[in-house]
Chains A and B, each alone.
Chain A
């Protein structure tokens, strides 16, 4: 009896201690999380370790998806469809693509893409492709301004126009210009910045239904945010709490008609929004491990949810009409989708109901989530 007591008393003590420790807070239901896991891969033939800069969709019968990842990949927007490469344009040796857009203005319906020569980055150009006749190949846009040492910074359709931002060299300076093309690719219109300003890298262009907004990299010029008509842009007198710098610059602009807000992401852990005037971010910036999260580009999905990517912490989501502080933002995906949770999401493509989201990552390929209204996770991500 005495010996059995000596045996069982430490066991009982250990059990009591363990019960106390386990009751002192729990971080997550780990077993439940494991139980809910699904396969992460839906292999569609696109490499898992590439950097996908952008993916766009060309509607049609069938609709087609195009991804810029150095090479250009395409596949049909259909279950089980496999990615294939698009032959690069013949006019550029070793052509690589770093910008792609679907230009759906009346009379266009093109895939527009910027290619450059890997051996000479200044040997480059803007090309278009008929998404319904990929075999016909790329056609160079002849009206592209002939600038010295030009390089593309942005290619984006805004307000029915295809905008191209380029850097170019005018001795002794590197300057930045913004052009807009119409659907016929006539000679583009150049955006006119305030006379005394020399804007730095053009980061994004957006239209809020009334006026254009252009975000640039902060530098020595008085401002980094411009607004107005393209022919007469003016500096925006942003509120001082929009503390963006050259090392923590603004990210992307996004106009959401659902709440009338113009959103601006930044790499200082904050998302600003404007509806008549810029609103102040309340409280601390969004941080992970004491580092401000660096936000990238937006997308809207499933009616009222906005997603914004980050450079190393997956993405965050918020309900439209909010995002005035860190408390409004929810990090995603679930932590056990670790490649995406800790990955760099450069941008998204949202495809309408039924919702499908694509996430373009740095070094982790292309991910897809088909909205699941009944599952434990409404956005179950798989790697294509």
Chain B
């Protein structure tokens, strides 16, 4: 039953149970006030798919000694596909695959493809869902004819407006932290810091 009808039915039942209202609750014994239970939106095994696209903002590079430097990258674009499975009404685990590109000062393109596991906790504030999440995994980087694989940590949060029980639309903001050690010359090791802001569409099934 769609969520809206469930809520409406609950309201009607609550009204009918008031004293003096003819109807179903005439013989109910007097009780202390019992708080109504929150209706769960998700349950174990429910799955979801997200597709997201938007901007990637290169923030800064940082050496492992703490020095900051420019990225010499333009604003880029990012896109992701995510699959998740609900463990209960709040916890979600899943996997995400995506990519970004941005142009360098010398007009070459940097590509980064993160492949991550993700976990999220969903706060239900009907009709919105707010979910901080944490993704971790690997990112494949390519620049010119050079390629490498690095670790990525990607915290963020998502705000989704529930259009109905199946669809939702919203906004993701996430921070990319990509440490890039280099054994050949540790002075050239850097940590990449990026921010992505993407619009997202969610489908639950």
Contacts and interface: CB of A to CB of B under 8 A. Distances in A.
Contacts of B118: 11
A15 B180 contact: no
Given A14-B117, A22-B151, A34-B110, A7 B93 contact: yes
Closest 7 CB pairs of A and B: A18-B138, A7-B119, A31-B190, A14-B117, A29-B188, A32-B188, A28-B146
Interface stretch (A128-136, A177-185, A330-338): A330-338
A35 B110 CA distance: 12
Given A11-B134, A21-B138, A30 B106 contact: no
Interface string B120-148: 00000000000000111111010111111
B149 A21 contact: yes
Given A35-B71, A39-B105, A3 B88 contact: yes
A4 B138 contact: no
Interface string A59-96: 00000000000000000000000000000000000000
A147 to B, nearest CB: 47
A17 B104 contact: no
A32 B182 contact: yes
Interface string A1-38: 00110111011111101110110101111111111011
A27 B88 CA distance: 43
B5 interface: no
A27 B192 CA distance: 17
Q: How large is the interface on A (under 10, 10 to 19, 20 to 34, 35 or more residues)?
A: 35 or more
Contacts of B73: 34
A246 interface: no
Contact of A26 (B137, B138, B183): B183
Contacts of A21: 138, 149
Contacts, number: 131
A38 B117 contact: no
B180 A30 contact: yes
B32 interface: no
A22 B149 contact: yes
A344 to B, nearest CB: 17
Given A12-B136, A31-B190, A37-B106, 6 more contacts: A28-B146, A33-B146, A34-B143, A35-B70, A336-B106, A336-B108
B181 interface: yes
Interface residues of B, number: 51
Interface of B: 61, 69-73, 87-88, 91-93, 104-108, 110, 116-119, 134-139, 141, 143-153, 178, 180-185, 188-192
A37 B153 CA distance: 26
A277 interface: no
A306 B73 CA distance: 34
A15 B61 contact: no
Given A30-B143, A30-B146, A33-B143, A18 B190 contact: no
A40 B107 contact: yes
Contacts of B87: 3, 6-7
A76 to B, nearest CB: 27
Nearest to B151: A18
Contacts of B91: 3-4, 6-7
Contact of A34 (B61, B138, B178): B61
B153 to A, nearest CB: 8
A10 B117 contact: yes
A37 B152 contact: no
Nearest to A31: B190
Contacts of A35: 61, 69-72, 190
Contacts of A19: 151
Contacts of B110: 30, 34
A81 B143 CA distance: 34
A46 B97 CA distance: 45
Contacts of A14: 116-117, 136-138
7 contacts: A3-B87, A3-B88, A15-B153, A28-B146, A33-B143, A39-B105, A336-B106
A122 to B, nearest CB: 42
Nearest to B182: A29
Contacts of A15: 136-137, 151, 153
B126 to A, nearest CB: 22
Contacts of A17: 137-138
B144 to A, nearest CB: 4
Contacts of A38: 105-106
Contact of A338 (B144, B178, B192): B144
A27 B137 CA distance: 19
A14 to B, nearest CB: 4
A27 B148 contact: yes
Contacts of B93: 6-7, 10
A34 B105 CA distance: 8
A17 B151 CA distance: 9
Contacts of A7: 87, 91-93, 119
Contacts of A3: 87-88, 91
B11 to A, nearest CB: 31
A27 B141 CA distance: 11
Contacts of B146: 27-28, 30, 33, 335
Contacts of A26: 148, 180-184
